[in-house]
Structure 1
């Protein structure tokens, strides 16, 4: 289905302070963007912030403000979500499910199409084990599936965009908030990753934030709805071995001496590491291990994800080389931000 969109539409954007939201703002030049924010204010050229709450009736706005906004908005882009694996399940479902239902009600009132950002990992339906401790990816993924179902049942013209793990900008590496993959590769740079619970040939599917932003912006401007877009590395995603090699090469270029971790199974972690070492670890380190196990479990996929982002006008598929360069740029930015580089490297 195709909808006529103004050349300079007014867009309601949720999650504007997040990773995808921040990258998307750079791609929406020429549009009037209203950013519904709960905590962090967002402003810029033709960008205005509006304080609200997706979990409240009328998005936390009074009736007059809600109706005024609905009368002005041409397109809704929904990026806001709880993405952490250790967040309370009630809070996760409040924002990811009830929040999406509130956004759908607004889009229906505004008679505006919706671009709904989900996750490619909704395809992982076998994460039912309890061995991740405080990290529960199945709670997050369950909430995203319910949100997608709400979109499908709503009757609102919509696209569903499913990115895999999002890393920083493909050139600068900059990102609004570092993600789990940054933490894992960062631990390798610090020589704090002796074991890595992955098979060496497992594909590590990630995409740079500017690709996700280009897909969403392209869909906004095309007016096309009714599609599902998998923004993934797919067949081009590098293996775990290659990602480790890239991180080590970067570390060496920065004057660090990272050792290669040993690839092990999750079963080995459960049988040997947890019973012997977990109780002695500080709480923060136990949580980091739980988060790493949950993150690496997402990559245990028999087949590569589909990749359909190139179906969006103006977007081309990324090669393995593109993804490797983006990973290196992202981790170089991480190393600078975390003080893992020399003063001369930071100034470069």
Structure 2
């Protein structure tokens, strides 16, 4: 591992419109940031933008523009990725694998270190992740593993950052796009979660987006490379039973009438629930159910993730209580955004 301080570097940021990308952009106000954008604009920010496509040679730029961009960049932060479980293999690999190879080629041309955002769930090699209808989490995870391997085997100085499930900002709860865990907890707040296919003592590992962004921003500022950083709750991650308790407590404090879901096995869902209730649903609803089921499968272990982000200078670890507070804050924001309670009650 090496550390070469680089004050106020110029950063090429991919995926700036996504959950992690937007949070990183907000943390790099002391840097010059160039956002490589494709189809989705970066809302509410004055960072410089270059329209490009990670899946095309030279990002789809002409060679002189590509070289000019490389000459300007000191550090690359790669957040862009397909993260959905229902996206086909070709599209997933196109961005997650070939897109990462394209970013590596650019970083090599720019002689710039790379901060690559992967996922902590690459560690879930012992789980059977197929058989969830349209949801294919194994395609996503395999693509992230292949991308990591390409980075490890390259000559580009790099870090691999592996967050677990990302929730909203720990202070405001805000997030650019609600994620799978929001959908599960949201169903709880709507009293539409009669059962949950998890063991009560399964760890639900999540981290607030500002923590992930702080880790990446500090790695950019210090110029640190050659590390793998697990940005996870680890042993501090709450159990599924505790997450349900927190959700019920929040909902009831907001005046919602809620019932506690029953913990059941995945096998029960497959044998009894899917054939009778799920298969008859419209396609979009079946897809949402399959995605939620696949996410619970990813959590389905009592073994905690590694948690090593505390080794990054200037980043403070989150305690179990801090993670619980961040979850409650994130779900309070979800309730307000979805109009589930009056704004005055949610803000209280």
What interval of TM-score do these two structures reach, taking the shorter chain for normalisation? over 0.9
Structure 1 partner of 2:182: 182
Per-residue Cα deviation, 1:7-45 (whole angstroms, up to 9, x for no partner) = 110000000010111111111111000000112223767
Are the equivalent residues in 2 in contact too, given 1:33–1:46 (CA < 8 A)?
no
Residue equivalent to 1:235: 235
Contact kept? 2:129, 2:294, Cα under 8 Å: no
Runs of 4+, deviation exceeding 4 Å: 43-46
- Contact 2:129/2:137 (CA < 8 Å) preserved in 1? no
Which moved further from structure 2: 253-262 or 327-336? Answer: 253-262
Equivalent residue, structure 1, for 2:277: 277
Query: Does 2:250 correspond to 1:262?
Result: no
CA distance in 1, matches of 2:305, 2:347: 38
Match of 1:139 in 2: 139
After TM superposition, the structure 1 stretch with the greater mean CA deviation from structure 2, 120-129 or 198-207, is 120-129
Counterpart CA distance in 1 for 2:94 and 2:131 is: 25
Give a deviation string over 1:125-158, Cα, whole Å, max 9, x none.
1344532000010000000000001101111000
Q: In structure 2, what is the Cα distance between the partners aligned to 1:157 and 1:279? A: 48
Separation of aligned partners in 1, 2:208 and 2:105: 31
Instruction: Provide the C-alpha distance between the structure 1 equivalents of 2:246 and 2:16, rounded to a whole number of angstroms.
Output: 31
Corresponding position of 2:123: 123
- State the number of aligned residues: 348
Number of the residue aligned with 2:68: 68
Q: Secondary structure at the match of 2:2?
A: coil
Q: Which residue of 2 aligns with 1:113?
A: 113
2:221 corresponds in structure 1 to 221
Contact 1:127 1:138 in 2 (8 A): no
| Structure 1 residue aligned with 2:288 | 288
Residue in 2 aligned with 1:56?
Answer: 56
In structure 1, C-alpha distance between the alignment counterparts of 2:44 and 2:275, rounded to whole Å:
52
TM value normalised by structure 2 = 0.97
User: Against the structure 1 CA distance between its residues 347 and 197, is the aligned structure 2 distance closer, same or farther, given a 3 Å change threshold?
Assistant: closer
RMSD: 1.4
User: Relative to structure 2, which stretch is displaced further, 172-181 or 36-45?
Assistant: 36-45
Instruction: Write out per-residue CA displacement over residues 254-284 of structure 1, whole angstroms, 9 at most, x where no aligned residue.
Output: 1111211100010111111122222322323
Match of 1:311? 311
Cα distance change on mapping 1:129 and 1:312 into 2, 3 Å: closer
Q: Structure 1 pair 79/136, CA: closer, same or farther in 2 (3 Å)?
A: same
Contact 1:134 1:287 in 2 (8 A): yes
Alpha-carbon distance in structure 2 between the residues aligned to 1:113 and 1:290: 38
Gaps of 5+ in 1: none
- Secondary structure of the residue that 1:280 maps to in structure 2? coil
* C-alpha separation in 1, matches of 2:260 and 2:53: 45
Post-superposition Cα deviations, 1:53-112, rounded to whole Å, max 9, x if no partner, equal 000001121111110010010000000000000011110000000000000000000000
CA contact (8 A) 1:201 1:241 kept: yes
Report the secondary structure of 1:202's partner residue: coil
In structure 2, what is the equivalent of residue 336 of structure 1? 336
